[in-house]
Chains A and B, each alone.
Chain A
Amino acid sequence: MKIVRPIVLSKTVFAIFCVLLLSSCCNSELQLSTVEKVALYYIKDVTEIKEKDVIEAYFDFSDGMNWAYQNDTTKNILKDIVNKVSNESGAKIYSMADDQITLLPEKTTTLFNTIMSPASYSKQYAPIEKTLARIVEQGNNALMVTDFEEYTTDGKIQTAAFASKYFEEWLNRGYDIKFYITDYTENTQSKHLYYILFNTKNHSLQEKVKEAIKGQPKNYKEYLLSTNPCKLSTKYLGAAYGGCYHDSSNQDIVSGTDESGTNESYCNFNIEGYAATLLQNSRFFKTIPQLNAEYYPMGVAWPDIVKNAEGASELQGNERYTDLLRNLFVDLTNQDSYIVNQLDIIATDVQQDMDAYINSLMPQIVGVPEMVDDGSGGKVAAPTSDQELYYDDKGNVLPQYIYKAKPTSQIMDVFEMNQTLFTNTKKTDPSNVEIGIDLKSGFSGNIGGYTPGDMIRLDVVIAKCEPNISELSSLFSWGGNSNLADAIKNTLQNMKPQNRVVYSYFIKTTI
């Protein structure tokens, strides 16, 4: 099964990841804690995108918009949003008209009056596709206010789904697009006005817009175009505790997970700031990103975990063991884009690949050796004692420290997701659907082809989901023009997050 690695991470993951280049350090300082290794290994699958804290807003100034702003709801929302956005320092506001994107004057009052004045909306042909291309190229948080009516060069309304590729490109970065939709009538035809928010991972503009329209009566509709339909959170005994079994005295008598709060013990990367308390002296992280991952150093071997699970399942009342891991919750209320029907798990032995990746970071830690004159006009590396472990005399990294992904063998017949728990909690409260993971019945503790003690990566993946297209037509079509509805439909079908990893457990046991 193809595994799609997660891209559901905050921008801080990228901005704060920092490899310190130090030229002189002793070998003992190069030792990394396991918590640090797990964080580094998890982050390697995430593409780094530097996000600028810039806000852009594009207003459709074509004459059709005057119809939209005759509607009080639409006008009030516009007023609130313009007020908010135009007051943001550094915000760049553009008009879209006459096939041009034009930067508006920066003075707040002038800007506000320009946008709110009906006289501004006297032009033709707002260049929607050009604007989409520009937003995607810039990659900043952006607002676009438009009726989404694009014209072809021969003056006809564009009905082709031209927006798909821009939406897909935006979503591919792990970003999302939020639509606020109001209705209005142009002559006798019902249409929609769209306040489209192109959100980067930091969602800063989204927060501002939410705040701006907070007091408004909710006579607008919302739609979130996103490939991340799962929002996960943990509800454990405390920051230092995992989702493993605990008895009435809060002891893990099944897996014996070390929950002592050190940089070799259990770590919940999903709790913002917690990992930082364990990795205060990290050479890699200035601050620790929030990740959809946890690390479990289990204190016993798999055969003993099986025995202990059997023992604990004979206990009575609240102490009775049910699953190896519990209390991870997924919020499935936002099904605008996709309806998630089933999650599942995939377990792999990642020890070799992880070692190879961590090894490849070592040359970066010690830094590139200085190149000096070799006496015959050439240059030769002059490595320090640490650098010579990782670099040859030409200053190139030794081949064994160049990362090449090692095969990761899938572990079958060990874990299974508690689908009954998932289904039942989904029925009860879709905002708190519980994920439980247990050992498969019949698992004796011996894993074929697995070296005891190797790191196991247990990924929670979207096993079954389908694009939610039921509302697309009513929200994104008007007067026979379904270009936007089609574009969103295409996007949803092409970007289906099947097999996407939404959460990862890293598990290591004793031998």
Chain B
Amino acid sequence: MQTSVVSAYIIGIVVFIVMLLIAAVVANVIAFQPGTNPSDPRKRKTWFWILGFLTPVLTFLLAFSIVYTGIRMRNVQEKYMTAMCISTVLSFLLYVVSGFMLSKIFNHGKLHHWFS
């Protein structure tokens, strides 16, 4: 009967990983452009942040629709809502921090453009 709040955090982590992977794939799909002022770094950065902002939105929506709507005990609803909010923020922060670390690790690759 009592739903564990752990699922809210698991959803946050899964969404962050999936979105970061998508961002990495997108960054790699965007081809290098020749010239002195190529637009591809900006595209990668834009997509990174678009996916970044989608991460908390998706985290919240998934947790809300999959789990929260099935909870009927008010005290559990309150606990779960708190956990969902924390997970939402965390998923975004993890996305940004991980993206930053990856961009620094691959500082000669396409991911570098996320924070260049």
Residues of A in contact with B (beta carbons under 8 Å apart):
247, 251-254, 256, 299-300, 303-304, 307-308, 310-312
Minimum CB–CB distance from B98 to chain A (whole Å) comes to 36
Shortest Cβ distance from A247 into B: residue? B72
- Is B78 in contact with A253, judged by CB distance below 8 angstroms? no
Instruction: For chain B, give the interface size range.
Output: under 10
Minimum CB–CB distance from B63 to chain A (whole Å) comes to 19
| Other-chain residue from B1, B2, B72, B74 in contact with A307 (beta carbon distance below 8 A) | B74
Shortest Cβ distance from A510 into B: residue? B2
In the complex, the 7 A-B pairs of residues with the closest C-beta atoms, listed nearest first: A311-B74, A304-B75, A253-B72, A253-B73, A307-B74, A307-B75, A308-B74
Is the CB of B77 closer than 8 A to any CB of chain A? Answer: yes
Minimum CB–CB distance from B83 to chain A (whole Å) comes to 15
Minimum CB–CB distance from A121 to chain B (whole Å) comes to 71
Within 8 A of A (CB), among B49-100: 72-75, 77-78
Chain A positions within 8 Å of B73 at CB level: 253-254, 256, 300, 304, 308, 311
Provide the bound-state CA to CA distance between A307 and B72, in Å.
Answer: 12
Chain A positions within 8 Å of B78 at CB level: 307
Provide the bound-state CA to CA distance between A304 and B73, in Å.
Answer: 9
Minimum CB–CB distance from B95 to chain A (whole Å) comes to 33
| Other-chain residue from A299, A303, A311 in contact with B77 (beta carbon distance below 8 A) | A311
- A to B CB contacts below 8 Å, 18 in the list: A247-B72, A253-B1, A253-B73, A256-B1, A256-B2, A299-B1, A299-B2, A300-B2, A300-B75, A304-B73, A304-B75, A307-B75, A308-B74, A308-B75, A311-B72, A311-B73, A311-B77, A312-B74
Shortest Cβ distance from A260 into B: residue? B1
Provide the bound-state CA to CA distance between A308 and B1, in Å.
Answer: 13
Minimum CB–CB distance from A298 to chain B (whole Å) comes to 11
Chain A positions within 8 Å of B74 at CB level: 304, 307-308, 310-312
Across chains A and B, the number of contacting residue pairs, with CB separation under 8 Å, is 32
Minimum CB–CB distance from B21 to chain A (whole Å) comes to 38
Provide the bound-state CA to CA distance between A253 and B77, in Å.
Answer: 11
Minimum CB–CB distance from B29 to chain A (whole Å) comes to 47
Provide the bound-state CA to CA distance between A90 and B77, in Å.
Answer: 66
Interface centre among B1, B75, B78 (most CB of A within 10 A): B75
Minimum CB–CB distance from A299 to chain B (whole Å) comes to 6
Shortest Cβ distance from A252 into B: residue? B1
Chain A positions within 8 Å of B75 at CB level: 300, 303-304, 307-308
Minimum CB–CB distance from B2 to chain A (whole Å) comes to 6
Chain A positions within 8 Å of B1 at CB level: 251-253, 256, 299
Chain B positions within 8 Å of A252 at CB level: 1
Minimum CB–CB distance from B53 to chain A (whole Å) comes to 33
Provide the bound-state CA to CA distance between A308 and B73, in Å.
Answer: 6
Chain A positions within 8 Å of B77 at CB level: 311
Chain A positions within 8 Å of B2 at CB level: 256, 299-300
Provide the bound-state CA to CA distance between A304 and B74, in Å.
Answer: 8
Interface centre among B1, B72, B73 (most CB of A within 10 A): B73
Minimum CB–CB distance from A264 to chain B (whole Å) comes to 15
Shortest Cβ distance from A301 into B: residue? B75
Minimum CB–CB distance from A489 to chain B (whole Å) comes to 54
Chain A positions within 8 Å of B72 at CB level: 247, 251, 253, 311
Provide the bound-state CA to CA distance between A409 and B56, in Å.
Answer: 50
Seed contacts A253-B73, A300-B75, A308-B75; 13 additional CB < 8 Å A-B pairs:
A251-B72, A252-B1, A254-B73, A256-B73, A299-B1, A299-B2, A304-B73, A304-B74, A304-B75, A307-B78, A308-B73, A311-B72, A311-B77
Chain B positions within 8 Å of A303 at CB level: 75
Shortest Cβ distance from B78 into A: residue? A307
Shortest Cβ distance from A249 into B: residue? B72
Provide the bound-state CA to CA distance between A365 and B116, in Å.
Answer: 76
Chain B positions within 8 Å of A253 at CB level: 1, 72-73
Minimum CB–CB distance from B5 to chain A (whole Å) comes to 14
* Per-position 1/0 for B15-33, Cβ under 8 A of A: 0000000000000000000
Shortest Cβ distance from A259 into B: residue? B1
Chain B positions within 8 Å of A247 at CB level: 72
Minimum CB–CB distance from B93 to chain A (whole Å) comes to 30
Minimum CB–CB distance from B4 to chain A (whole Å) comes to 13
Provide the bound-state CA to CA distance between A300 and B78, in Å.
Answer: 13
Provide the bound-state CA to CA distance between A310 and B74, in Å.
Answer: 8
Shortest Cβ distance from B72 into A: residue? A253
Shortest Cβ distance from B79 into A: residue? A304
Shortest Cβ distance from A251 into B: residue? B1
Chain B positions within 8 Å of A299 at CB level: 1-2
Provide the bound-state CA to CA distance between A92 and B92, in Å.
Answer: 89
Minimum CB–CB distance from A446 to chain B (whole Å) comes to 15
Provide the bound-state CA to CA distance between A169 and B2, in Å.
Answer: 52
